[in-house]
Chain A
């Protein structure tokens, strides 16, 4: 690579991996607080368990790979993975479920591919999908807001006392998916946790993630392309296939934007600089793909929410997207397809 000599004055740029990761963690704070308001100590336990497990597993693997442990831990990337996974998992998940999820994320998602910067898949989403596929019952047991007492919750997480049916609530996406007889108006009237757009907890948590995402956008941690494209695609898809509010309804665009993990995915997952596409145009296509897939799986697939699956599928496409959206180097003509005279 040609590094042109620069003359003074130099502006120093404090941006480093560590700095970037700190900002991302800071940006999850609103969502963490809102989530804690609804689910008590659940998110805090999840995130704390995730961080403890993630840091110890990372330290262990890095030392197995004979690399400097403190250097690998200092960049904070594993803590971002842990925080995002902790917020994505249902509150009050058993400790072993958290361990399996974060273990797969760090070992299989990150280090088997060569560590930070080498992973083709988003580690947090990989860990999430592994436990979602393996333990569907535990992963769909979302607690009803403000029902589980802290002592019961701790006993469930650490001692394995059984999960009570009274604690569970079907998420809005789940409810919508399993509804075959009621009009939406009737459905949401019966639903005990209705909010303005989707469920009470879901819309506020999504708003909080949106707020954190806008902060990151303002700080230029990532560009607008991927999140805007994903939200746009999801909104467009749900607008096109919006079949009113009858019993077969797929839900309105606004409902889809503020349900499930939409905002978490849009601003914190698909903006991952490693596993996403690299050029701006590529990021836009990447986001579009995720948005379309999310809607397809939500409306016609087997799972109520689909952020994790869509992100993994698009991660697989990222190298191809990069190949076709390679930016033109300044001073070069646009490459022509096929054989051109003058080529060697």
Chain B
């Protein structure tokens, strides 16, 4: 299966987006998207694990037998998740505490095992790594957009507490979009995640059908499609 990088990019970011189309990994998507910084933190961790696990899986793809491939893949993913967990403990301890159980849960994120099984186990090292990175990026983008919308609706601010991720230089990045905002609590609570994700999927489908309606249907020339020739 040879797929061009352009196609991989389009697949990961739009056509086969893990968050909006495959609807995989919804648990962290719902659980950590209540503010931009949480979403970005988990998004970056997921990109790292996904890209590295795809790379590792594609390297060993000819060495593992099909019977033991799943345990082997999960071991790789768990090891990488432990790496990112220790890294976050070391460098962004506060964020690590806030994200809590969702960091170890990256191991069970279906996107990661799904890509390992569906792509990395069948493709070469470079394209697998790239696929992992782009898929992770698509997931992280959805996560961050939901996080931003929920933070904006819920508290009227954007980029609060970015110092948790970027250190003290980000301490004053908070942008109060609506001063004197009452706070729409529902957006920060779990239902807000379902509502925002649902609306995003609806928007994506709407855009898709708009594009589909605008592209002219080019019928292939009849001669090419002939299956049976009777004369």
Identify the A interface with B (CB < 8 A): 100, 108, 130, 133-136, 138
Chain B: how many interface residues by the 8 Å CB criterion?
A: 9
Return 8 A-B CB contacts under 8 Å, by A number: A100-B184, A108-B195, A130-B186, A133-B191, A134-B184, A134-B186, A136-B185, A138-B182
CA–CA, A133 and B192, complex, Å = 11
Residues 159 to 217 of chain B near chain A (Cβ within 8 Å): 182-187, 189, 191, 195
Identify the B interface with A (CB < 8 A): 182-187, 189, 191, 195
- A133 touching B182, Cβ below 8 Å: no
Q: Report A-chain residues with C-beta under 8 Å of the C-beta of B189.
A: 133
A341 to chain B, nearest CB (A): 43
Interface centre among A100, A130, A134, A138 (most CB of B within 10 A): A134
Q: Report A-chain residues with C-beta under 8 Å of the C-beta of B187.
A: 134
Q: Report A-chain residues with C-beta under 8 Å of the C-beta of B195.
A: 108
CA–CA, A80 and B182, complex, Å = 29
Q: Report A-chain residues with C-beta under 8 Å of the C-beta of B183.
A: 134
Q: Report B-chain residues with C-beta under 8 Å of the C-beta of A136.
A: 185
Q: Report A-chain residues with C-beta under 8 Å of the C-beta of B184.
A: 100, 134-135
Lowest 10 CB-CB distances: which A-B pairs, in order? Answer: A134-B186, A134-B185, A134-B184, A133-B186, A130-B186, A133-B185, A133-B189, A135-B182, A135-B185, A136-B185
Closest to B184 in A: A134
CA–CA, A134 and B186, complex, Å = 5
CA–CA, A136 and B184, complex, Å = 10
Q: Report B-chain residues with C-beta under 8 Å of the C-beta of A100.
A: 184
Closest to B186 in A: A134
CA–CA, A134 and B182, complex, Å = 10
CA–CA, A108 and B187, complex, Å = 14
B146 to chain A, nearest CB (A): 17
A30 to chain B, nearest CB (A): 33
Closest to A131 in B: B186
Q: Report A-chain residues with C-beta under 8 Å of the C-beta of B182.
A: 135, 138
Q: Report B-chain residues with C-beta under 8 Å of the C-beta of A108.
A: 195
B181 to chain A, nearest CB (A): 12
14 more A-B residue pairs beyond the given contacts A130-B186, A133-B186, A135-B184, with a C-beta to C-beta distance below 8 A:
A100-B184, A108-B195, A133-B185, A133-B189, A133-B191, A134-B183, A134-B184, A134-B185, A134-B186, A134-B187, A135-B182, A135-B185, A136-B185, A138-B182
Closest to B191 in A: A133
Q: Report A-chain residues with C-beta under 8 Å of the C-beta of B186.
A: 130, 133-134
A61 to chain B, nearest CB (A): 14
CA–CA, A108 and B186, complex, Å = 14
Q: Report A-chain residues with C-beta under 8 Å of the C-beta of B185.
A: 133-136
Q: Report B-chain residues with C-beta under 8 Å of the C-beta of A133.
A: 185-186, 189, 191
CA–CA, A135 and B186, complex, Å = 9
B2 to chain A, nearest CB (A): 42
CA–CA, A133 and B182, complex, Å = 13
CA–CA, A249 and B219, complex, Å = 77
B187 to chain A, nearest CB (A): 8
CA–CA, A133 and B190, complex, Å = 11
B149 to chain A, nearest CB (A): 15
CA–CA, A108 and B198, complex, Å = 11
CA–CA, A54 and B46, complex, Å = 43
Q: Report A-chain residues with C-beta under 8 Å of the C-beta of B191.
A: 133
B202 to chain A, nearest CB (A): 9
